[in-house]
A and B are shown apart, each in its own frame.
Chain A
């Protein structure tokens, strides 16, 4: 099941990290997670439903998330809420450090130190 990297425009693995990070604030349902990522990134990152839901289920299968049905507070609707497990927290730490490495590497390529390529 390759994640639709092309559809999201995100690097592979990055969507997982964003979802895990979002859930660090507390349980949320799928729609809420997508909204949160979109809003926090100032509408830059739009998470397609076609990528979000398979990703959520894949992470649940791996044991990073657990899900339960709860009635949303502000509305009279039962929604499926995802919650982070300890394994999910550990995964978030791993993904984040990987991402930092990656971002640093990209940054070094884009903005080489003086004398680097002379």
Chain B
């Protein structure tokens, strides 16, 4: 109640405080003048009237003070006084203030930046109504996640939706790269990501069109699906925000689509299942072939669902698992296939989760180091301020008042630190956002707002308590008489004070070493990752994507003719060493193919041999620089009409022909006959191939993953897998990007409607895929450098202080014959033994933290002995150097002068 009254009157007071305080004098003066008037009227001479009035009035100054006191609250005034006093102290000690504020700015800034990222990636609610009800469904194979499956097949998803009681809606959708021409005429076609979605997709996300209408159910049928919804971004940039856009036509893969809606830009980029770019256009989910029983095996689609109110993701998981088990028993195609339900919000952080934990731990350590440093600084200062505090205590200040004053000093410091830290965080985030790799679209969501500011304020408050409380409590535990008796000499800290400060140094060194170990492990891992042998000649290789739309290239023979002609034209360009049309290039392929291999009859779906699969032309190995290990390469005589041939990888031979020669063996491209398959990947004889050669392995399953078995065939010989999507890979003599216009020119001479898209060198693809690890490494290295610098500054400061305080003792030692070397050794030994204890603890800490690291490391153990030893030695060496400076100062003590001073 009292607190509430205080608060209420505080508000009343603050509202008019300034005016009221000014008015007090004016009111008293006016009433005084009135009194004087009346005195005069009653006959007192004018000269005396004023004095008489003043006498009648009493002590006006005292009255004014009493009145002003009404308008103040005691503790607020006291705090204000403390703040002013603290500010004055800081101004008088700018060196200390600067070091303290910068240290705090580093600690608080790093934590603010990290919180901003964690908030954007894990905590902030998604931009959808009741987003807690949204889940994503992923298919699993034999109980484990399989990225190549993505969601359940549409048929499975339909059965889930019918049999389960957990969902309001369950939607299957997809996103494809398509050639889109935005204007009616004249405009160049561009490769654009097109979402293939039913209207329920938007309804489930509760997104309304800005204007226009959602797709009808009828439009989800193939043939009636020529309607499109465009994003507000496309509407603004391509149609200048024209309200008349509805009813206009887009050409997608050379077919006309009518625009029926403009959708708001609320679906974040990370929600798209594939990596390249945002979806800007949606057309209905209209596939004629996915709803028949033969398509139950067709995976690769995405699935989203909205839970019924009150149903948890765990309940939905249990519900669906039971249904999936039943489907697996009923359908051969579903053998081993399960389903995993994940909250949509949890999918946002994706592969960044371990990185976030690691970096969060790192910034936590930095803040702790900063706190330890400041606690040490304050302890050192408290030693010299003992007399001041004792004097104040002697004059009647209670211990509570002294602690409050000291804490307000630290709070002022940490507030300043927080302000600078916020600026540091903003700068850092801006740098990361402009540099951030393209495959981390989640980072686009990062903003600094009130949530971040609240966090920063809370951190700085906790920080000031953390580093301020111990020094404040220990400084105010005073024996007044003792301190005052010591006269001008600053007190030597007792053994307990020294133990406390040694413990702080131990903690600081340990934490710095943990950061150092983590950073050097990450750096080595990144180097290993980036210098991986991809299995090809990686330099001067450019790749680009093309898509031949089925409207004009419905016949595989037409696709072959076009590809052959295009490759021949590119090979003829000056500066081109070789070129190949292919669907596979390192470091990841993404086309997994079921095979039949002689001598390996299988009856269960989970036993079917699989391999990474690519269709190419005869220049594949030469352009890539993949060595032929055995047998022969593709030849020009391997034509559409001749016997189909295949080249397999060394890993393929190891896995599937461990004891026999694969050359001359015939494999079947496709699943065994017992498995009913979707049309397009059928079991006709024409997809048999004879192995004629074995080539070296190349990275086909990801940068950090061992190469999987690989099969390459010629598209000319396999019309059933000769689709319109192809890549061209070009090996050049000079800077590869310089060739892009010439290659695109050749493409457009053959077909002006085809965009030449996703042009990158293989080096750039690798750089893009190592973006996450690189960012983690850069940040962790920065954090480690910061933490390391703080720790070294800390140990330097403490040793300096120690030397200063032990000056007399050292002088006595030297006076009685200790040599310079002995004094030097004494100081070094003491501080280095403390540092060594810290280093040992730090190594244990780093070993304990390996769980945070193990998932992020490649090619190096999280407890790599060389790294641990090296980091510890480096830290101790630098610590020794930092100690040497004050230690040398100790040897220059002049015993005669020092001892005469006191």
Residues of A within 8 A of B (CB): 1, 29-31, 48-50, 53-54, 57-58, 61, 63, 72, 75, 77-80
Number of residues in B with C-beta < 8 Å to the partner?
26
CB within 8 Å for A61 and B12 given contacts A30-B31, A75-B37, A80-B23: yes
Beyond A1-B69, A54-B66, A54-B67, 14 extra complex contacts between A and B, CB < 8 Å? A1-B66, A29-B31, A31-B34, A48-B58, A49-B28, A49-B57, A49-B60, A50-B66, A54-B63, A54-B69, A54-B70, A57-B70, A79-B31, A80-B31
Contact between chains at A50 and B58 (CB < 8 Å):
yes
Residues of B near A48 (CB, < 8 A) are 58
Contact between chains at A53 and B66 (CB < 8 Å):
yes
Whether B894 is near chain A, meaning CB under 8 Å from some CB there, is no
* B34, closest chain A residue (CB): A31
Q: How far is the CB of B410 from chain A (nearest CB, A)?
A: 32
Contact between chains at B27 and A80 (CB < 8 Å):
yes
Contact between chains at A58 and B34 (CB < 8 Å):
no
Give Cα A57 to B9, complex, Å: 13
Give Cα A29 to B70, complex, Å: 18
Residues of B near A75 (CB, < 8 A) are 34, 37
Partner of A61 from the list B30, B31, B59, B70 (CB cut-off 8 Å) is B70
CB within 8 Å for A53 and B63 given contacts A48-B58, A80-B23: yes
Q: How far is the CB of B593 from chain A (nearest CB, A)?
A: 84
Contact between chains at A57 and B67 (CB < 8 Å):
yes
Whether B35 is near chain A, meaning CB under 8 Å from some CB there, is yes
Interface of B is mostly: helix
Whether B793 is near chain A, meaning CB under 8 Å from some CB there, is no
Q: How far is the CB of B50 from chain A (nearest CB, A)?
A: 15
Whether B62 is near chain A, meaning CB under 8 Å from some CB there, is yes
CB within 8 Å for A49 and B58 given contacts A77-B34, A79-B31: yes
Contact between chains at A31 and B31 (CB < 8 Å):
yes
Count of CB-CB pairs between chains A and B under 8 Å:
63
Q: How far is the CB of B546 from chain A (nearest CB, A)?
A: 80
Contact between chains at A78 and B30 (CB < 8 Å):
yes
B:9-64 near A, CB below 8 Å: 9, 12-13, 20, 23-24, 26-28, 30-31, 33-35, 37, 57-60, 62-63
Whether B71 is near chain A, meaning CB under 8 Å from some CB there, is yes
Residues of B near A54 (CB, < 8 A) are 63, 66-67, 69-70
Residues of A near B35 (CB, < 8 A) are 31
Partner of A80 from the list B13, B30, B70 (CB cut-off 8 Å) is B30
CB within 8 Å for A53 and B67 given contacts A30-B27, A48-B58, A61-B13: yes
* B62, closest chain A residue (CB): A50
Residues of A near B24 (CB, < 8 A) are 53, 57
Partner of B28 from the list A53, A58, A72, A78 (CB cut-off 8 Å) is A53
- Per-residue interface assignment for chain B, residues 64 to 105, with 1 indicating a CB less than 8 Å from any chain A CB and 0 otherwise: 001101110000000000000000000000000000000000
Contact between chains at A50 and B63 (CB < 8 Å):
yes
Give Cα A58 to B12, complex, Å: 12
Contact between chains at A77 and B33 (CB < 8 Å):
yes
Q: How far is the CB of A47 from chain B (nearest CB, A)?
A: 11
A-B contact pairs, 13 of them (CB 8 A): A1-B69, A29-B31, A29-B34, A31-B34, A31-B35, A49-B63, A50-B66, A53-B63, A53-B66, A53-B67, A63-B12, A72-B34, A80-B27
6 nearest A-B pairs in the assembled complex, by CB-CB distance: A57-B70, A31-B31, A80-B27, A54-B66, A53-B67, A50-B63
Residues of B near A80 (CB, < 8 A) are 23, 26-27, 30-31
* A72, closest chain B residue (CB): B34
Q: How far is the CB of B409 from chain A (nearest CB, A)?
A: 30
Give Cα A57 to B63, complex, Å: 11
Residues of B near A79 (CB, < 8 A) are 27, 30-31, 34
Contact between chains at A50 and B23 (CB < 8 Å):
no
* A62, closest chain B residue (CB): B9
* B30, closest chain A residue (CB): A79
* B57, closest chain A residue (CB): A49
Residues of A near B70 (CB, < 8 A) are 1, 54, 57-58, 61
Residues of A near B34 (CB, < 8 A) are 29, 31, 72, 75, 77, 79
Residues of A near B30 (CB, < 8 A) are 29, 77-80
Contact between chains at B9 and A61 (CB < 8 Å):
yes
